[in-house]
C-alpha cells in the first residue's frame, strides 16, 4: 500500500488543502501512518491530537488517529480547541513525543490542514517533503497503538492565567476589554479565560461555527476588525483583541479604534520584557517595521531580523535563546515564562500584563509609536518556476548598487526614504512586496523602485492576490 498526495497540499510550514478536492480522510490516514513511523524511528511513541472548529475536522481527526495507531503510536486525543492548546498538550505532557492539530487556520471554510510538532520542534520543510516521499512509496511501519481521551482545557486556561503573574489584579479591576473569537476554535477557551480575568470583558462570536457566518477569521485584514471596533467604541473599552480561526494569531485595536499591527504589538511586548531581561534577543520577520528594530535597540535589546514563517521563527528562537519573537501576520512567540510557541490567547493576557507593568494604557502605548506610512502587503502571482529566480536576479542587481541590502529572506533594501521588500512566498506561487517610509512622497519613490526591479526581470505587480 502507498499514498500519493495532491502536490499542492504539501506546503513549507504545514499541510493544507481544499476538502473534497485536494484533501480528504485518505490523506489524513497516510499522514498518521508516516508521521508515526518517523516518530518511532526517532525513539518516540506518543502523539497528542487536536482539531479546530471546521465542519471537516472531526472526519479528518478520526482518519488521522487510525493512521497513527496503525503504525504503532499511542494517541492522546485532546478534542476541539485552538492550535496552541494542542501545542500546550504536547509541551506539558512529559510522555508526549509529538503533536498534530487539524486546522485550516485563517483559510476559507472549505480548507483544512495539519500543523505538526515533532519531539518539541516544528515539523516543516524537508520533514513534510520526506513525509510525502515516504507515503508515495508506502514506507510506513505496522503496529497497534492505544487511544486515550484527555480534557486539558481547564489546565490550559490555568496556564494562560500565569501570564499575569506578578501583576496586581486589584489594579486591573477597572480594565475593560473586547474580544472577537470570529467563530473560530478559540471561542470556548476564550469564554473560560475571560471569566477568570480581572476587569470587565465583552465577547464576540465565541460560538464555534466552521462556516464563519460573521466575518472571515483573519485579524490581519482590517475589515475583519469592524465589529470589534464597533464594540470598543460603543462600550468605551480600553482595547480589543481578535483571533484567527485556530487561535495562534492575534490582532488588536486600541481604545481609539486604531489597529495595532503585529510589529507594533511586538514593540509593546518587547518594551515590557526588556525592562526585566535587558540585552535579550528579540526576533521579527523581514516584513516588520524599522521602528520595531530601532525601538528594541533603544530599550536595550538585541533586534534580529529573520525569515517569515512560524516554523522558521520558532527554530531561530531555539538556536539563539530568544525569549520573544513575532511576525507581521500576528504570530507572537513567548519563550519568556512560556513554551516558545505562538498562542494568541496567551498574547492577549500578556498585553494586559505589559500595559499594567509599563503603567500606560494600550492607547497610550500605541499613540507613542512613530507614525510610519506603509503599503499593505502586496501579493501578486508569479509562476512557481520563476518566483525564486526573479528574486535572485533582483538580489544580484541591487548588490551591484550602493544600496543597503538585507538578503535574509528575499531582498530588503533600505534607503533615505525608508525601505522596500520583495520576497517569494514559500507556500504559494506569489511574490510579496512591502514598503515603508515617513512620507507619502518617500513611499511613492520606494514603490517605484519595486516596480523598476520587477520590470527589469520581465514582471509587473498587476492585481494583488489574497492569502
Q: Transcribe 1-54 into DSSP letters.
A: ------TTTB-SSSEEEEBTTTB-HHHHHHHHHHHHHHHHHTT--EEEEEE-S-
Specify the pTM. Answer: 0.95
- 105 is a catalytic site residue: yes
The confidence band for 464, taking pLDDT boundaries of 50, 70 and 90, is low
Per the residue annotation, which of 45, 57, 71, 105 is the catalytic one?
105
Give the model's pLDDT for residue 401: 84
Q: Is 35 exposed, middle or buried (0-12, 13-18, 19+ CB in 10 A)?
A: buried
pLDDT, residue 183, reads 96
Per-residue pLDDT tens digits for 217-252: 999 999 999 999 999 999 999 999 999 999 999 999
Domains, the chain, in order of start with CATH, read 15-151 (3.40.120.10), 156-366 (3.40.120.10), 373-456 (3.30.310.50)
Q: Residue 272's pLDDT is what? A: 98
In angstroms, rounded to a whole number, what is the distance separating the alpha carbons of residues 209 and 356?
34
Residue-wise pLDDT for 270-287, tens only, equals: 999 999 999 999 999 999
The pLDDT-based confidence of 310 (bands split at 50, 70, 90) is confident
Compute the average pLDDT of residues 67-81: 98
Q: What is the distance between the alpha carbons of residues 56 and 53, in angstroms, rounded to a whole number?
A: 8
Dihedral (Cα; 293, 294, 296, 299), 10-degree rounding? 180
Average pLDDT over residues 15-19: 95
| Helix %, strand %, coil % of the chain (to 5) | 40, 25, 40
- pLDDT of amino acid 359: 95
CA separation for the pair 334, 336 (Å, rounded): 5
Beta-bridge partners for 147: 75
Tens digit of pLDDT for each residue in 373-412? 999 889 889 988 899 999 999 999 999 888 899 999 999 9
Distance, in Å, from the CA atom of 133 to the CA atom of 130, rounded to the nearest integer, reads 5
DSSP state of 172: G
pLDDT digits (tens, 9 = 90+) for 188-216: 999 999 999 999 999 999 999 999 999 99
The CA-CA-CA angle for residues 61, 48, 326, to 5°, reads 100
Q: Exposure pattern of 55-82 as b/e (b: 16+ CB <10 Å)? A: ebbebbbebbbbbbbbbbbbbbbbbbbb
Place of cell 526585566: 276
pLDDT for the residue numbered 467: 45
pLDDT score at 19: 97
Q: Is the pLDDT of residue 465 over 70?
A: no
Give the pLDDT band (50/70/90) at residue 338.
Answer: very high
Tens of pLDDT, residue by residue over 94-146, are 899 999 999 998 888 899 999 999 999 999 999 999 999 999 999 999 999 99
Report the candidate in 163, 162, 204 with the shortest Cα–Cα distance to residue 186. 204
Q: CA nearest 152: which of 69, 221, 92, 223? A: 92
Q: Which of 79-83, 346-350, 428-432 has the lowest mean pLDDT?
A: 428-432
Under DSSP, the state recorded for 401 is: T
Displacement of CA 73 from its chain's centroid (Å)? 28
> Is residue 405 within a helix (H) or strand (E), and if so which, with residue range?
strand 404-406
The average pLDDT across 314-330 equals 96
pLDDT value, residue 377: 87
Burial of 304 (0-12, 13-18, 19+ CB in 10 A): middle
pLDDT at 462: 67
Amino acid at each position: 500500500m502507498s499514498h500519493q498526495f495532491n502536490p499542492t497540499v504539501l506546503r513549507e510550514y504545514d499541510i493544507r488543502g481544499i476538502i473534497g478536492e485536494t484533501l480528504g480522510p485518505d490523506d489524513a490516514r497516510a499522514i498518521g501512518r508516516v508521521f508515526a513511523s518517523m516518530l518511532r524511528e526517532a525513539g518516540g511513541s506518543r502523539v497528542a491530537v487536536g482539531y479546530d472548529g471546521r465542519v471537516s475536522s472531526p472526519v479528518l481527526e478520526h482518519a488521522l488517529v487510525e493512521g497513527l495507531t496503525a503504525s504503532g503510536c499511542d494517541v492522546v486525543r485532546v478534542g476541539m480547541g485552538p492550535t496552541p492548546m494542542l501545542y500546550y498538550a504536547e509541551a506539558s505532557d512529559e510522555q508526549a513525543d509529538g503533536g498534530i492539530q487539524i486546522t485550516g487556520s485563517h483559510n476559507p471554510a472549505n480548507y483544512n490542514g495539519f500543523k505538526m510538532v515533532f519531539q518539541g520542534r516544528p515539523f516543516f520543510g524537508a520533514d513534510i517533503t520526506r513525509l510525502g516521499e515516504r507515503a508515495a512509496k508506502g514506507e510506513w511501519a505496522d503496529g497497534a497503538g492505544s487511544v486515550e481521551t484527555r480534557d486539558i482545557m481547564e489546565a490550559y486556561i490555568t496556564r494562560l492565567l500565569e501570564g499575569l503573574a506578578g501583576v496586581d489584579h486589584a489594579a486591573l479591576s477597572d480594565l475593560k476589554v473586547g474580544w472577537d473569537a470570529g467563530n473560530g476554535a478559540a471561542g470556548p477557551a476564550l469564554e473560560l479565560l475571560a471569566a477568570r480575568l480581572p476587569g470587565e470583558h465583552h465577547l464576540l462570536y465565541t460560538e464555534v461555527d466552521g462556516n464563519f457566518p460573521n466575518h472571515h477569521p483573519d485579524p490581519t485584514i482590517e475589515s475583519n476588525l469592524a465589529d470589534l471596533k464597533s464594540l470598543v467604541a460603543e462600550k468605551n473599552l480600553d482595547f480589543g483583541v481578535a483571533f484567527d480561526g485556530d487561535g495562534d494569531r492575534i490582532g488588536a485595536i486600541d481604545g481609539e479604534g486604531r489597529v495595532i499591527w503585529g510589529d507594533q504589538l511586538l514593540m509593546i511586548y518587547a518594551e515590557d520584557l526588556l525592562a526585566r531581561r535587558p540585552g535579550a534577543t528579540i526576533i521579527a520577520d523581514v516584513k516588520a517595521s524599522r521602528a520595531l528594530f530601532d525601538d528594541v535597540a533603544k530599550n536595550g535589546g538585541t533586534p534580529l531580523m529573520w525569515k517569515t514563517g512560524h516554523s522558521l521563527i520558532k527554530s531561530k528562537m531555539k538556536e539563539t535563546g530568544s525569549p520573544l519573537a513575532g511576525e507581521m501576520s500576528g504570530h507572537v512567540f513567548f519563550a519568556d515564562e512560556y513554551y516558545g510557541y505562538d498562542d494568541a490567547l496567551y498574547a492577549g493576557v500578556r498585553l494586559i500584563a505589559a500595559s499594567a507593568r509599563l503603567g500606560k494604557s494600550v492607547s497610550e502605548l500605541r499613540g507613542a509609536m512613530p507614525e510610519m506610512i506603509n503599503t499593505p502587503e502586496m501579493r501578486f502571482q508569479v509562476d512557481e518556476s520563476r518566483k525564486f529566480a526573479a528574486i535572485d536576479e533582483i538580489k544580484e542587481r541591487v548588490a551591484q548598487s550602493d544600496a543597503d541590502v538585507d538578503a535574509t529572506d528575499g531582498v530588503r533594501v533600505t534607503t533615505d526614504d525608508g525601505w522596500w521588500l520583495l520576497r517569494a512566498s514559500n507556500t504559494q506561487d506569489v511574490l510579496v512586496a512591502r514598503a515603508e517610509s515617513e512620507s507619502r512622497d518617500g513611499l511613492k519613490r520606494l514603490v517605484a523602485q519595486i516596480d523598476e526591479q520587477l520590470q527589469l526581470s520581465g514582471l509587473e505587480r498587476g492585481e494583488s492576490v489574497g492569502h
